[in-house]
Amino acid sequence: MEEYDFLVIGSGSGLDVANAAVSRGESVAIVERGPLGGTCLNRGCIPSKMLLYHADVLETVERADRFKIDAEVRDADFAEIVREVTEDVGADSDSIRRGLDSSSDHALYEAEARFVDERTVELSGGVDDGARLRGERVLVAAGTRPAVPDIQGVDAVDYLTSTEALQLQEPPDHLVVVGGGYIAAELGHFFGTFGSDVTVIGRRPHLLPETDPEVGRAFTDRYADRFTVHTGHEAVSASAAGGEVTVETRPYPPASDGAPDGTGVTVTGSDLLLAAGRRPNTDTLDVAAAGVETDDAGFVETDEYLRTTADGVWALGDIVGEYLLKHSANHEARALMQNLFGDPEPVDYTAMPFAVFASPEVAGVGATEDDLDEGYATNTYRYEDTARGGAMKREGLVKAIVDLEGEILGCHIMGPEASNLVQEVVVAMNAGSGTVRDIRDSVHIHPALSEVVQRAFSGQFSRGGGGHGSGHDH
């Protein structure tokens, strides 16, 4: 059995911690069963956002007539777009492999790992099949994989997950999407822009259910203008015949009147995409054999320092389930380096932002109205009421949520550049006093789009949560 000072399972954000251990003279082993670089680089945010930018460019050209510009798209080489993105991602992954292979300080094992004892894994596959590795300290950073919902007959259907969808060489004729979250929204936008008919089936009352409800409802309305959207529906069965797939639904929750007549809908399309969340890879790792406890959904239980219930074992990233976001995993990696090699400090998740790169784009940070009962106020300002927003001829909104003393509780944005606009609020919540004044009193360039954020935090706030009284101007 090979023994190391530090054993890392997964080659995403865990690599940053592995490199920090190497720099301190520790012997380090890295186990990765898939392409180097983790989910984000190979099957997640990098290829999807590269592809989505192509959709944004196409959409921009198609809107040119709104600006009295005569432009048309004569062709879009979809297969070449996908091939180029796939090659770029593969080159980055190969670059990571070459770096590790050329390092005398990293031992790379490209195999499947499964815990067999405390801080001990057995490998399967490749030249090291059957080998055992033990780490004085172990980092579990093995991520998640697409979840397959419990739908009768789905195993007999040639369905897609996000992994396969990112590799398609041509857009489906009619894509049926089960799921209403960010993966469904982004891939629906991508394929819809390139010509697919898209039908989205979501269980919750609106798409993007983790967003603020006002933003979620507005986003759902916009998607209903583009696609066929069935919210409040749960897919219960799937079947394939004649080159088509059919999905049957029922109102969700089953006891509710999710449809006008209390019945489900039947949707038939050429392809089925399951985008109903992700599940942690703790089962394939058999973390219980190492004494690592998980929650009911299978995510690793950690304390505020990212320590698991097993001595000497830490975890970070999607497999922890705090935020399934690459920037959250990077943040946790930085925190873990401090906790392993410096004075331990709890991980600070204050003002963790998110973004959905759909059309319209959505981003947010902090609390939503669903998170709050009382003692808060809101103000919503629309893009089209600013000079830049009007010039862009795009609808959008910024919703500010504050407490009654003016401290920023959250901000939620729908519209162009939402992922960039929210960053100002993130900085204010983290680095400033975190109040309305941090944004309201900062000079904003005129006529830049950022004025919409300033005005959302400068206007008349209305008390939320069933409170009484007039608006509050902080």
**188 is written with which tokens?**
């629906």
pLDDT band of 451, cuts 50, 70, 90: very high
- CATH of residue 219: 3.50.50.60
Q: Is residue 87 part of a domain?
A: yes
Q: Which of 306, 304, 231, 242 is nearest to 269 (CA)?
A: 242
The number of domains in the chain is 3
Q: Is residue 395 part of a domain?
A: yes
Same domain, 54 and 169: no
Q: Where are the alpha helices (DSSP H) in 248-314?
A: 282-285
Same domain, 116 and 9: yes
Q: Is residue 347 part of a domain?
A: no
Q: What stretch of H or E contains 241?
A: strand 233-241
Same domain, 6 and 139: yes
Q: How far apart are CA 168 and CA 47, in angstroms?
A: 12
Q: Which of 238, 235, 240 is nearest to 276 (CA)?
A: 235
Q: Which pLDDT value is given to residue 257?
A: 45
Q: What percent of the chain has pLDDT over 70?
A: 96
Q: Give residue-wise pLDDT tens across range 151-193.
A: 999 999 999 999 999 999 999 999 999 999 999 999 999 999 9
Q: How far apart are CA 354 and CA 346, in angstroms?
A: 21
Domain-ending residue, one of 276, 299, 332: 276
> Containing domain of residue 384, as a range?
360-463
Q: Is the pLDDT at 468 greater than 60, yes or no? A: no
Sign of CA dihedral 179, 180, 184, 189: positive
Q: Which pLDDT value is given to residue 261?
A: 59
Strand bridging mode 228-230 / 233-241: unpaired
**303 is written with which tokens?**
């304390």
pLDDT band of 431, cuts 50, 70, 90: confident
- Region 256-264 average pLDDT: 61
Q: Which of 380, 388, 456, 447 is nearest to 416 (CA)?
A: 388
Taking each helix axis from N to C end, the angle separating 182-193 and 45-62, rounded to the nearest 10 degrees, works out to 40
Same domain, 375 and 457: yes
Q: Is the pLDDT at 365 greater than 80, yes or no? A: yes
168's CB contacts (< 8 A; 6+ apart) are 82, 160
- Region 457-461 average pLDDT: 94
Q: Is residue 234 part of a domain?
A: yes
Q: Is residue 35 part of a domain?
A: yes
Domain-ending residue, one of 258, 276, 294: 276
Helix, coil or strand: residue 443 = coil
Q: Which pLDDT value is given to residue 259?
A: 52
224's CB contacts (< 8 A; 6+ apart) are none
Domain-ending residue, one of 341, 371, 391: 341
Same domain, 327 and 388: no
Q: How far apart are CA 472 and CA 455, in angstroms?
A: 14
Same domain, 442 and 375: yes
Averaged pLDDT of the chain: 94
Q: Which pLDDT value is given to residue 263?
A: 86
- Angle at alpha carbon of residue 147, lines to 166 and 347, rounded to 5°: 95
Same domain, 41 and 128: yes
Q: Is residue 349 part of a domain?
A: no
| Candidate list 446, 468, 472, 474, residue with the active-site label | 446
Q: Give residue-wise pLDDT tens across range 334-344.
A: 999 999 999 99
Q: Give residue-wise pLDDT tens across range 238-249.
A: 999 999 999 999
- Region 55-62 average pLDDT: 97
The burial of 76, by beta-carbon neighbours within 10 Å (0-12 exposed, 13-18 middle, 19 or more buried), is given as: middle
Same domain, 39 and 161: no
Specify whether the backbone of 108 is left (phi greater than 0), alpha (psi in -120 to 50) or beta. beta
472 is known as an active-site residue = no
Q: Is residue 472 part of a domain?
A: no
- Region 204-219 average pLDDT: 97
468's CB contacts (< 8 A; 6+ apart) are none
**346 is written with which tokens?**
């709890």
Q: Which pLDDT value is given to residue 474?
A: 43
Q: How far apart are CA 40 and CA 68, in angstroms?
A: 39
Same domain, 336 and 369: no
- Region 289-297 average pLDDT: 98
Q: Is residue 304 part of a domain?
A: yes
Q: What is the DSSP letter of 367?
A: -
> Global pTM?
0.94
- Region 381-405 average pLDDT: 96
Same domain, 88 and 176: no
Same domain, 381 and 416: yes
DSSP string, 26-91: --EEEE-SSSTTHHHHHHSHHHHHHHHHHHHHHHHHHTGGGGT---------HHHHHHHHHHHHHH
DSSP string, 172-240: -SEEEEE--SHHHHHHHHHHHHTT-EEEEE-SSSSSSTTS-HHHHHHHHHHHHHHSEEE-SEEEEEEEE
Q: Which pLDDT value is given to residue 276?
A: 95
Q: What percent of the chain has pLDDT over 90?
A: 93
SS3 content of the chain, % helix, strand, coil (to 5): 35, 25, 40
Q: Is the pLDDT at 457 greater than 80, yes or no? A: yes
Q: Is the pLDDT at 426 greater than 50, yes or no? A: yes
Q: Give residue-wise pLDDT tens across range 86-119.
A: 999 999 999 999 999 999 999 999 999 999 999 9
Same domain, 222 and 283: no
Question: Tokens 């599940």 identify what position?
Answer: 279
- CATH of residue 378: 3.30.390.30
Q: Give residue-wise pLDDT tens across range 305-325.
A: 999 999 999 999 999 999 999
Q: How far apart are CA 180 and CA 217, in angstroms?
A: 12
Q: What stretch of H or E contains 335?
A: helix 326-341
Q: Is the pLDDT at 466 greater than 90, yes or no? A: no
Q: Which pLDDT value is given to residue 471?
A: 39
Identify whether the C-beta of residue 245 lies closer than 8 Å to the C-beta of residue 227. Answer: no
